[in-house]
Structure 1
Amino acid sequence: MNVPASGISHGEAKPVPSNSLHEVDATYKKVTRRLIPFLFICWMVNYIDRINVGFAKIPLATDIGLSEAAYGLGVGLFIFGYVIFEIPSNLLLTRIGARKTLARIMLLWGAISCLTFLVRTPTEFYVARFVLGVAEAGFYPGLILYLTFWFPSSRRARVMSRFLLAMAVAGVIGGPLAGLILTHTSGLLGFRNWQWLFFIEGLPAIVLGIVALFYLDDSPKDAKWLTASEKELIQTNLHLGESSKPGHDHGISDFLSVFRDPRLYLAVVGYTVIPVLGTVLNYWTPTIIHNIANPDIGTVATLSAIPFGLGALGMLVIARHSDRKLERRWHYFFTVSCGAVALLCLPHVAGNLGLALLCLSLVGVAYYGGSTIFWTIPPAYFPSRSASVGIAATSSLGQIGAVLAPILLGWAKTHTHSMAAGFIFIAALTVLGGLAIVLGIPRSALREHKLKTGN
């Protein structure tokens, strides 16, 4: 099945029937109720499976002889595997549809996460993380692309904030859940607690992959739960955004053309910030807390929930304000700059748990808020026929910094007993990414529109 990048054909937009604002809102609420809760759960489970290695690390490192540098390399290999298969996965999505693609990804990553309990050496840890990255490749950009099949640009920040709230919820519940599993499963049936953590938290992904095959629709035209008028309203509002995109009639139309478009590299530099901030928050928060207070693993996991929760609150406020103003670039710059400041402060508050949690919470705001704002930009920036490749290429190439960041942080911690140098590098990269969006992408290039109601 071939699914166009917008989920609709590229013909002339039909006039909208006379719809009141109430009817428009009702239609999008209906779509939101149908899709967002399920996608929310899928992404939450994915995120828990992704960050659980940060909690498993403390007992895992002791059992298999894993140094800080080796741990950083394992995190980087996961991202590397994710990156190299991300574009092929999104291209496959446009060919066979979102339903089969997302189901395939969830089934594979769930199975591999479960099998990670077999790891016995650092080398096996490297292989497991790389293969898990390959299995998950395309899930995040695939979901971003899938949302553009249903929601116009003027609603995407709010929709993205609800969707990406799953990351924060995963962080809030993932820590205590990991702590519960690690505390109560050590030695159960002869296995270590970190083995049970990987196995138990991998199972839900397998179940969700099966459900996705029966629950999701590839696009609005396939949705039997929408009326004909609702489908027409959605299609027209999507056309409205597509017809206003710069370069729509002369845009890139094949794989190679995407990489000749300078827009891609501006977006990549801007996006690099997000996965790098996520590396600090997701993979080093437990270690930072443990190094300051040296509490038991259960307390570390519980305290780790704080930056995720405060990050979620900040994200919701930022997303709502950005949608109301229909402004993305400056919102993005100021949001990620908060993260840069927090990273510069972290080494100086290493002896104060409260201040360290405050800095990590600002990193959480920058990560979640920045993610929400950023992913409203590529769908409004790339021509619709190149959106699938453009979004995947931005996500893939933007992960380069995230491949290097954990290796750098791990090396710095091993050889200098401090991550200060790594945090300074990440802070500088963060400011550079924010400036790339503000200075490199003119506001007119996005041309977002209010919803058309027909009145």
Structure 2
Amino acid sequence: MRAVRAATVRLVPFLGLLYLLNYLDRVNVGFAALTMNADLGISAAAYGLGAGLFFIGYFLFEVPSNIILHRVGARVWIARIMVTWGIVASATAFIRDEVGFYVVRVLLGVAEAGFFPGIVLYLTYWFPRARRAKIVALFFLAVPLSSVLGSPVSTLLMQYGDGVLGFDAGWRFMFFVEGLPSVLLGVAVFFVLPNRPRDARWLAPDERTALQSAIDAEDARQVGGEVGVRSALTNPRVLALSVVYFGIVFGLYVLAFFLPQVVKGFERQFDTTLSLAGIGLVTAVPYAFAAVAMVLWARHSDRTGERAWHVAVAAFVGAVAIAAALYLDSPLLVMAAITVCAIGVFAAIPVFWQLPNAFLVGVGAAAGIGLINSFGNLAGFAGPYLAGWLQGVTGDFRAGMWVVAAFMALAGAIALSFRRTGPDSTVD
């Protein structure tokens, strides 16, 4: 269908750019920590707490935000989210102590709540089910690309930003600069993003009608009637998927927030020397491989129509790889194992989001997807905090990485219970 191709070209790259900025503003604190922690006197445990506090505000406002998006439309609500998170992200440049770090991280979570699940929901308005895993994977490319591109950019801004615009540290300059594009693109969203196919002026009238009718008919055929908010939030399958997503995201955010410090630790562990920019480049490697693997895995899932095994296998691979990394004796082998773990994490996520889409639609999908994402992203609080605490207690990252492996293995095991999904299915 030409309308689907047009929607892919028009929407996916633009939404991916928005998510790239979104994710970069969320995790650039991992690079800031290389010098910010010492400047502000923040311990490893305090940093882990602050990095994770983002997800408390995120958790509390995620479901209401997604329901609002469903009711008022993506154009208005995504624009609001982007402008407010960009302002808060830039304001991180002005924190002066540990408490300020905590406050700005909570506010960033509140401002951003609803963005990712809102886009996942928004994509269901535009694309047939047989193509959604690949479409979500193309959109989710923003995450590894934010690391492939953002890692060297963030570290270069830190390395050369000291004294620029009056900032007394490079990490302050980085935060300020990287928040501004989100504000500008948030304004653009209000003017260019159509809510549904029927609103797309770049489609011919017959194409708008055909695409809208095809999506509506498929939802009615595959899912049946729309369920209410309460039913979606108490659905056992939604709760089980929340646990699965928690385990996958646990690995995602421990990598995001601590991989730069793991690479820096090679200096002590393997007697290597890397500049800030060098750390950024090495950190980008796993994400480059993960980006390619994620799209190929999603395409295979769409082609076969299978979802649960694709999620489970990817999670199991990630769990084994991160555990193996703890016992390797060279930086090259450690990075190879971490790369395989990143591949497992990223390959699982786009396919995972097809599991709730198999039995949720409408406001029920808005509530259910919001709950799954908010609960799953509590791993963004628990993961960094637990990893930071264990690092402080043990002096290295080994215990924290074992916890990542355990949660990812649990996610894979539960995902297998969704081998049958549909309007009449139950968890096996």
User: Structure 2 length normalisation: TM-score?
Assistant: 0.94
Residues 1:333 and 1:446: Cα distance change in structure 2 (over 3 Å) = farther
Contact 1:241/1:380 (8 A) holds in 2: no
Choose which of 34, 55, 67 in structure 2 pairs with 1:91.
67
Displacement, 1:347? 1.9
2:341 equivalent in structure 1: 363
Percent pairwise identity? 35
State how far apart, in whole Å, the 1-side matches of 2:384 and 2:256 are: 11
Residues 1:252 and 1:386: Cα distance change in structure 2 (over 3 Å) = same
Paired residue type of 2:360: F
Paired residue type of 1:381: F
Paired residue type of 1:414: G
1:369-421 deviations in Å (ceiling 9; x for gaps): 11111112212222444111111011111223332111110010001112222
Displacement, 1:174? 0.5
Paired residue type of 2:176: F
Paired residue type of 2:222: K
2:270 equivalent in structure 1: none
Residues 1:212 and 1:446: Cα distance change in structure 2 (over 3 Å) = farther
Matched, 1:347 2:329: no
Matched, 1:252 2:213: no
Q: Which runs of 5+ in 1 are unaligned?
A: 1-23, 448-455
Paired residue type of 1:418: D
Displacement, 1:123? 1.0
Contact 2:248/2:407 (8 A) holds in 1: no
1:143-167 deviations in Å (ceiling 9; x for gaps): 1011111011111011111111111
SS at match of 2:274: coil
User: Structure 1 length normalisation: TM-score?
Assistant: 0.89
Contact 1:285/1:360 (8 A) holds in 2: no
Choose which of 324, 328, 346 in structure 1 pairs with 2:307.
328
Paired residue type of 2:206: S
State how far apart, in whole Å, the 2-side matches of 1:133 and 1:340 are: 27
Residues 1:97 and 1:384: Cα distance change in structure 2 (over 3 Å) = closer
1:43-81 deviations in Å (ceiling 9; x for gaps): 111111112111110110110001110111011101111
Choose which of 216, 228, 240 in structure 2 pairs with 1:239.
216
Choose which of 275, 279, 289 in structure 2 pairs with 1:310.
289
Matched, 1:437 2:412: no
Query: Map of 1:128-143 to 2, 5 A cutoff?
Result: 128-143=104-119
1:188-216 deviations in Å (ceiling 9; x for gaps): 32421000000000010011001001000
1:127 equivalent in structure 2: 103
Contact 1:94/1:388 (8 A) holds in 2: yes
1:397 equivalent in structure 2: 375
Cα root mean square deviation, aligned? 1.6
2:365 equivalent in structure 1: 387
Contact 1:183/1:297 (8 A) holds in 2: yes
Choose which of 255, 276, 298 in structure 2 pairs with 1:297.
276
Displacement, 1:437? 1.7
Choose which of 130, 137, 140 in structure 2 pairs with 1:164.
140
Query: Map of 1:99-248 to 2, 5 A cutoff?
Result: 99-188=75-164, 189-246=166-223, 248=224
Paired residue type of 2:216: H
State how far apart, in whole Å, the 2-side matches of 1:109 and 1:284 are: 22
Paired residue type of 1:252: V
SS at match of 2:348: helix
Choose which of 225, 232, 250 in structure 2 pairs with 1:276.
250
Residues 1:363 and 1:141: Cα distance change in structure 2 (over 3 Å) = same
1:410-439 deviations in Å (ceiling 9; x for gaps): 010001112222222221221111121212
Paired residue type of 1:290: K
State how far apart, in whole Å, the 1-side matches of 2:284 and 2:380 are: 22
SS at match of 1:42: helix
State how far apart, in whole Å, the 1-side matches of 2:411 and 2:346 are: 15
State how far apart, in whole Å, the 2-side matches of 1:297 and 1:131 are: 28
State how far apart, in whole Å, the 2-side matches of 1:232 and 1:416 are: 61
Contact 1:252/1:261 (8 A) holds in 2: no
State how far apart, in whole Å, the 2-side matches of 1:187 and 1:385 are: 49
Paired residue type of 2:287: F
1:4 equivalent in structure 2: none
Q: How many residue pairs align between the two structures?
A: 419
1:211-270 deviations in Å (ceiling 9; x for gaps): 001000111111122122212321232134312335x23x531x3222321121121122
State how far apart, in whole Å, the 1-side matches of 2:227 and 2:68 are: 18
Contact 2:262/2:397 (8 A) holds in 1: no
Residues 1:311 and 1:223: Cα distance change in structure 2 (over 3 Å) = same
State how far apart, in whole Å, the 2-side matches of 1:252 and 1:445 are: 11
State how far apart, in whole Å, the 2-side matches of 1:281 and 1:347 are: 14
SS at match of 1:259: helix
Q: Which runs of 5+ in 2 are unaligned?
A: 268-272
